[in-house]
């Protein structure tokens, strides 16, 4: 833990993620505190994947001070670089903030716009689901993302859960997003 300040962004990402995966992120305060202290110096050099990975690793860290400090740094570092993030990286970043219940309205506005541009084509259904689930959980709204998701879902509705399609359609209708008509009506089974 003492050497965390010497880590490169990839090292921070890998160590935080590994400890989260084995369940130590919830109880290893000294390690996560040391990693959190190193994040501000590494965030500017980190690749988008590393930022998303670090955010996800800290999203349920037991030490709320370390979690909030890391998410605060990433919430500030990501928006100016949001166009560098792939759809998969956005789909990892958004749930990290939603799951931590960390308010980041500026980040979510940027995420929504960037995600909408990436989801419009033949997006992976898991990415579409992950992004929208995060926005709904964080109580954030992105009409552009809803429209792009509706378009993506209309191309391959069989790839999506009917309950998810129903919620997407309802949200589009509630917000007046014209793409609601693209989503097949879900019939109760």
In what helix (H) or strand (E) does residue 55 lie, and over which residues does it extend? helix 48-58
**pLDDT in the model for residue 103:** 95
Q: In the predicted model, is pLDDT for residue 99 greater than 80?
A: yes
Backbone CA torsion sign across 116, 180, 131, 62? positive
Residue 142 sits at φ, ψ, to 5 deg, of -140, 95
Query: Of 53-67, 92-106, 127-141, which range is least confident?
Result: 53-67
Q: What is the mean predicted confidence (pLDDT) over 86-104? A: 95
Average pLDDT of 87-91?
95
What is the rounded CA–CA span in Å between residue 103 and residue 75?
A: 9
Buried b (16+ CB within 10 A) or exposed e, 43-58: beebebbbbbbbbbbb
Which pair of tokens denotes residue 33?
């505190």
Average the pLDDT over 62-69 and give the result: 87
Residue 76 has pLDDT above 60, yes or no: yes
pLDDT of residue 1: 45
Predicted local distance difference test score (pLDDT) of residue 169: 87
**Cα 25 to Cα 105: distance, rounded to the nearest angstrom:** 26
What's the mean pLDDT when you consider all of the chain?
85
Contact 136, 99 (CB under 8 A): no
Q: How many CA atoms lie within 13 A of 32 on its CB side?
A: 29
Q: For the chain, what percent of residues have pLDDT higher than 70?
A: 87
Q: Which residue did the predictor score with more confidence, 31 or 139?
A: 139
Reply yes or no on whether the pLDDT at 189 is more than 80.
Answer: no
- pTM (two decimals): 0.86
Residues 6+ apart with CB under 8 A from 98: 133, 134, 135, 137, 138
pLDDT interval class at 27 (50, 70, 90): low
Integer CA distances (angstroms), 131 to 20, 50, 97, 99, 118, in order: 21, 18, 11, 12, 11
pLDDT of amino acid 186: 57
Has residue 180 got a pLDDT over 80?
Answer: no
């Amino acid at each position: 833990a003492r050497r965390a300040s010497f880590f490169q962004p990839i090292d921070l990402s890998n160590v935080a993620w590994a400890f989260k995966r084995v369940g130590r992120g919830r109880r290893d305060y000294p390690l996560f505190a040391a990693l959190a202290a190193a994040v501000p110096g590494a965030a500017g050099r980190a690749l988008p994947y590393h930022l998303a990975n670090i955010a996800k690793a800290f999203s349920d860290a037991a030490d709320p001070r370390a979690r909030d400090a890391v998410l605060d740094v990433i919430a500030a570092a990501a928006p100016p670089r949001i166009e560098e993030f792939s759809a998969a990286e956005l789909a990892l970043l958004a749930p990290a903030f939603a799951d931590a219940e960390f308010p980041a309205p500026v980040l979510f506005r940027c995420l929504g716009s960037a995600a909408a541009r990436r989801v419009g084509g033949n997006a992976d259904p898991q990415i579409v689901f992950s992004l929208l689930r995060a926005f709904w959980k964080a109580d954030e709204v992105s009409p552009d993302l809803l429209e792009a998701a509706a378009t993506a879902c209309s191309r391959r509705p069989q790839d999506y859960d009917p309950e998810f399609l129903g919620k997407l359609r309802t949200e589009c209708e509630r917000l007046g997003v014209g793409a609601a008509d693209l989503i097949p009506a879900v019939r109760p089974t």
